[in-house]
Structure 1
Amino acid sequence: MSNKYTFPKGFWWGSATSGPQSEGNFNKPHKSVFDYWYEIEPEAFFNKVGPEVTSNFYNSYKEDLAMLKEIGLNSFRTSIQWTRLIKDLETGEPDKDAIRFYNDVIDETIKNGMVPVMNLHHFDLPVELYDKYSGWESKHVVELFVKFAETAFKLFSDRVKYWTTFNEPMVVVEGQYIYQFHYPKVVDGKKAMQVLYNINLASAKAIKKFRELGFNKEGGQIGIVLNLTPAYPRSNSEEDLNASKIADTIFNYSFLDPAVKGEFPSLLVELLKEDDVLWEGTGEEIDIIKENTIDFLGVNYYQPRRVMAKKYIVEDEEYWMPHKYFDYYDMPGKRMNPYRGWEIYPQSMYDIAINIRDNYNNIPWYISENGMGVEGEEKYRDENGEIQDVYRIEFFEEHLQYLHKGIEEGSNCFGFHSWTPIDCWSWSNAYKNRYGYIGLDLETQTKKIKKSGKWIKEVSKNNGF
């Protein structure tokens, strides 16, 4: 049977998870903001399931990685937890057990024929850095992050050739400082924009450190993982188009432009200045951002954003909010994933591919996350106990068809990672929606390959479908 869709030679067929969502808290020297939030407000988490055990990867990584090999994956992304690796947060001195653990994970990944991709920050700021310095609002925390990054680079760059600095940094800005869906649930536009700036700076400084240490000369590459959620206007009216342009600028280009082009979008700077919420920065910092752009880009894509021109202008809102400039548009007839409340729109894969090709130097990039969260998957078990997640296979195939079209038309995409290999813990959603190729029984911690796991094995083997 020949492929209808064949992907470039050496294409990554992989999957992504993160330290805080898979490892559990075993032997961790520090608490993250999520560990702390669960302690003070367990009811904020679905079924009160917290991050203590998650998918037990700390204890079961050997078996887990062997299962990833069994389903044919050739690459695997996870994250190194700042709260686990670093014993002394001020000096960057590492923890012995963490060195052993991450060395083992990396060696085991390679042994199983997978390229390890290591990310440094997946929302898991050490809570004491929030308590002491207000977390990402602080330039001192930027410096401490660089020390953490340096420690990780020195320990693991002999084997890890693909690094990313942050995963979905916009979620830190939105969740912690605007829309209150992550602890500390602050609503403050000025602080939010300072955090946005500081994380861009932290990423650039970590990249600078990576190159100063010479790891780029040893074949190492460093990038960032951004959640790109294209903003589609309700109509082609000037007002709607302008609303979508502003939404894209705030949510997508505020990290994409500095990462790839080394500068913030001028529209963003103008709006924030006008609204008196522009960050504090120096010329020297702006130069660091300018001179330390990424080697490759990871794109997490799940859903589009639909917007329209603002119906009513509200002058005296207490806090600055991005939606000062647009309203969300509820498009009739859109396809939905009812479990997650997200629209299913695979065409965005193509739009993202072409945007990167035409407006971002056709930088090498890959889909670093794409997936479908479904609640109550056990109802899809067959008589052998295998979850028949046909809906997930269809979801991936549709998205991959549009990605393939973008690649055919010259977009420089080198891989596709699903979220996630094994059902993992998802922040306040905990285990409500499952995403894995491999199912997890929370009670017994047993793991079993789903139908989609058998599907990806074939796709990977044939480099297409």
Structure 2
Amino acid sequence: MKYKFPKNFWWGAATSGPQSEGRFNKKHSSIFDYWYDIEPTAFYDQVGPNIASNFYNSYEEDLKMMKSIGLNSFRTSIQWTRLIKNFETAEVDEDGVNFYNNVINQCVELGMIPIINLHHFDLPIELYEKYGGWESKHVVELFAKFAKKCFQLYGDRVKYWTTFNEPIVIVQGQYLSQFHYPNLVNGKKAMQVAYNLNLASAKAIEEFRKGKYNKDGKIGIVLNLTPAYPRTQSKDDLEAADIANMIDNRIFLDTAVLGKYPEGLTQMLEKDGVIWEYTEDEIKLLQNNKVDFLGVNFYQPLRVKKRENKFDDSKGWLPDKYYESYEKPGRRINPDKNWEIYPEAMYDIAINIRDNYENIPWYVSENGMGVHGEEKFMDENGMVVDDYRIQFITEHLQFLHKGIEEGSNCFGYHLWTPIDCWSWKNAYRNRYGLISLDLPSQTKTIKKSGYWFKEAAENNGF
């Protein structure tokens, strides 16, 4: 069967500033830079973000290589810690200004649409130490200033902006599940942070629309959607899945697209005494600053059931009190991540957006497969023969295509990631790129999947 995609479909890939650039000439540290400095042993093989994929120095060759494998669009992020010299006034660092100018200009010259994201888990450490980071509404105001500065500097050439990448991961990693610094477990703070992130996104959108930086400009948000599937159709399992969906997906999806929180969520948090502090003016701001488009990151589904083991409430309120995850019998997994491979969810996401979210324009902003030890799949010429990745992409695109055929308004597909990149605590343990990176030499080589992707992009399908 032939799979043809809509005209002007985005065939691209995504990375982020902190995962690709390295810390060269950066005057401030993010929470991950700081965490690596104080506890390098927390990171796989003790590899930190100092060099990453060297994009700060090699962006010209890297972008040309991306273009050579057919990418017509490319997402990265502007690091708050690189661009801004003074966080209170949003005074800029000229080296940062020039670097992002050069990257954006080259994307435009190469005919790759730049999609620029404003926050990818890289909160400046000073703002955490001084104000508690996203716990603080003052930091929300500072983020809006940073966003405005980005729009002023680059809005003439950047048509597509996103405010945050995967804000729920900030909530989970920093405040619930201890995989981002400061590794707290505090459900009340977690919910306030979720609210403040929604507020920060809305304030950035407000700044964007006030400024009219580009008559064709659009602004969105990138959310990782992990559809929660109940173990059975029993009332208890369905309720568990509904709560998991509200907390893991809808807490950001509903606010971004519909301008309001799911009713059941706010009622539950009020009942449990962990509702965020808010004002009526802020609620109006959320209502009036909805996104123009949506980026959707999808990797794996969420499988849930009613809680069967007693909840340990010694750590206070946590969303886990309402549900447990379970492993679907016979599931396919990626053994290197222990993540379920379930491309059918791509179709479910497409139809959910069509039916429940005003059929907003959206694109797959990340999808990919992280594999450990890819050198074992190299041929005699040093090319990674990653047929598993080609199969993974193909299956997800097939289900995406089905959703598009049935009327979901999807305009693109981005793989995570163009070039193997640094991945937080996991560093380079699992590789995701269409282009492989030899870390010691920083040599970059196109994988078999890169050539496959080029063909798909050129044919607008496969």
C-alpha separation in 1, matches of 2:338 and 2:274? 31
C-alpha separation in 2, matches of 1:314 and 1:376? 38
- Asked if residue 339 in structure 1 is aligned to residue 336 in structure 2, the reply is yes
The residue that corresponds to 1:397 in the other structure is: 394
Greater Cα offset, 345-354 or 306-315: 306-315
What pairs up with 1:51-450 in 2 under 5 angstroms? 51-215=49-213, 218-314=215-311, 316-450=313-447
C-alpha separation in 1, matches of 2:213 and 2:95? 24
After superposition, the C-alpha distances for 1:292-314 in whole angstroms (9 at most, x for unaligned) are 00000000000000000111443
After superposition, the C-alpha distances for 1:291-343 in whole angstroms (9 at most, x for unaligned) are 00000000000000000011144374432111110111121110000001100
C-alpha separation in 1, matches of 2:309 and 2:364? 37
| Partner amino acid, structure 2, of 1:204 | A
Displacement after TM superposition at 1:29 (Å): 1.4
After superposition, the C-alpha distances for 1:233-283 in whole angstroms (9 at most, x for unaligned) are 001111111110100000000000000000011111011111111100000
C-alpha separation in 2, matches of 1:141 and 1:439? 37
- Secondary structure (helix, strand or coil) at the match of 1:440 reads strand
TM-score (norm 1): 0.99
C-alpha separation in 1, matches of 2:180 and 2:36? 11
* Percent identity between the two aligned chains: 66
| Partner amino acid, structure 2, of 1:57 | F
- Secondary structure (helix, strand or coil) at the match of 1:165 reads strand
C-alpha separation in 2, matches of 1:64 and 1:353? 32
C-alpha separation in 2, matches of 1:368 and 1:38? 27
Displacement after TM superposition at 1:210 (Å): 0.3
| Partner amino acid, structure 1, of 2:450 | G
What is the RMSD of the two structures over their aligned residues, measured on CA atoms?
A: 0.8
C-alpha separation in 1, matches of 2:398 and 2:315? 45
- Secondary structure (helix, strand or coil) at the match of 2:144 reads helix
C-alpha separation in 1, matches of 2:325 and 2:457? 38
- Asked if residue 28 in structure 1 is aligned to residue 36 in structure 2, the reply is no
C-alpha separation in 2, matches of 1:79 and 1:424? 14
After superposition, the C-alpha distances for 1:359-404 in whole angstroms (9 at most, x for unaligned) are 0000000000000000000000111111000000000000000000
The residue that corresponds to 2:450 in the other structure is: 453
TM-score (norm 2): 0.99
| Partner amino acid, structure 2, of 1:276 | G
Displacement after TM superposition at 1:111 (Å): 1.1
Q: Which runs of 5+ in 2 are unaligned?
A: none
C-alpha separation in 2, matches of 1:37 and 1:174? 17
- Secondary structure (helix, strand or coil) at the match of 1:215 reads coil
Displacement after TM superposition at 1:172 (Å): 0.2
Displacement after TM superposition at 1:128 (Å): 0.3
C-alpha separation in 2, matches of 1:391 and 1:113? 29
Greater Cα offset, 307-316 or 290-299: 307-316
